Amino acid sequence: MTQRQLLKQIQRSEIKLPPIHSELTELRHVGPPLIKGAAKVYVWADALSELIYAGLRRDSVMQAAVLVGGVYAGPGETFVEVRGYADLERYEDTTDFARSINEDWTLLRNRLARREERVSIVGWACLRQGLESELARDLQIAHRSFFNLPHQLLLAIEPHTQELALYGFDEIGRLVQIGFQLVVRRTDS
C-alpha cells in the first residue's frame, strides 16, 4: 500500500503532529536508518520500559502483547506512534499465541474501543529468550496472519539483555528490520 492509499484510509479526526525534540521530549534514533518513503515510527520510551519490566517477571516462556497507538497523517508525512500495549500474556509458543489471538480478536478490539482515549492496534510485541539476527519464521507467520496491515509492526524483545528489534513491511511487502524514533520524556533535573 502506498503512502497515498494509507492517507485515504486515515480519518480527518486522526490528523495530528508527530512528537518532536523539545523541552518536554527528546527523540533518539534506534536501529537501522529509516526507509525512504516509509512511515516514520515513534515509540514512547516509558511504554517500552514498562513492557520490558513486565517481561522480566515471567521470562522463562514466550510472552506477547498487542501494541496500541495510532497511525496519523502529519504535515507532509505519515507516521505510526506506539503509545502502549495491552494484554501481555504468556504462551507456550507462537502457535499457542496464534490460536489465542484468533479466538479472542473480537474481544480484544471491543476492549480497546471502550478505552477513554482512542487507540488503534499498531502491531504486537514478542518477548522471549534469545533474539535471533534473522526474524524467526514462526514470528513472521504470526505477524502476517494477524497484523498484516502496512503500518502494523512487530517488536521483538529479549527481556534480560533488553535487546530489541522492530520489524515492519517495506514497499514490496517484505517484513524487514526498521529504525524508529524513541520518544523520551525529559524530567526536571
Q: What is the DSSP letter of 117?
A: S
- Mean pLDDT within 76-103: 82
pLDDT band at 15 (very low <50, low <70, confident <90, very high): low
- Mean pLDDT within 88-112: 74
pLDDT band at 155 (very low <50, low <70, confident <90, very high): very high
- Cell (9 digits) for 174: 517484505
Distance, in Å, from the CA atom of 101 to the CA atom of 104, rounded to the nearest integer, reads 5
Give the pTM: 0.82
pLDDT band at 81 (very low <50, low <70, confident <90, very high): very high
In CATH, 3-10+30-185 is 3.40.50.740: no
92 near 62, Cβ under 8 Å? yes
**For 5, how many CA atoms within 13 A lie in the half-sphere containing its CB?**
7
Backbone angles phi, psi at 99, to 5 degrees: -65, -45
- Cell (9 digits) for 103: 479466538
